Amino acid sequence: MQPLAPLDPEEIQKTLAGLPGWTWSREALERCFTFADFSAALGFIVRVGLAAERLDHHPEIHHVYARVVLRLNTHAAGDKVTMRDVALARAIQDLAPGG
């Protein structure tokens, strides 16, 4: 399991360099994914959910038709970004279309 210490802004910016499409917004890592249709977006959400369960760390998910927005922060660390969020973002990145 990844440490729960909050990352400082410099660490977060360095991490984002290896996570294309992700941003740091409102104390969370965030990324929007767009799919061909509702079914493709829903299938992605299910895969993200399974990865989140394996890591015992769960994202905030917003789903509207073919669009999925994921937000990651660690509640146990005062809703700050930790290495747990980075690990989940990397796992999600591997699941995303185009990798």
How far is Cα 61 from Cα 75, in angstroms, rounded to an integer? Answer: 15
Is 70 exceeded by the pLDDT of residue 99?
Answer: no
Domains in the chain (CATH in brackets) are 9-95 (3.30.1360.20)
Is 60 exceeded by the pLDDT of residue 1?
Answer: no
Cβ pair 59, 91 in contact under 8 A = no
What is the three-class DSSP state of 68? strand
pLDDT digits (tens, 9 = 90+) for 17-76: 999 999 999 899 999 999 999 999 999 999 999 999 999 999 999 999 999 999 999 999
Query: What is the mean pLDDT of the segment spanning 73-91?
Result: 95
**Dihedral, CA of residue 70, residue 72, residue 78 and residue 83, to nearest 10:** 180
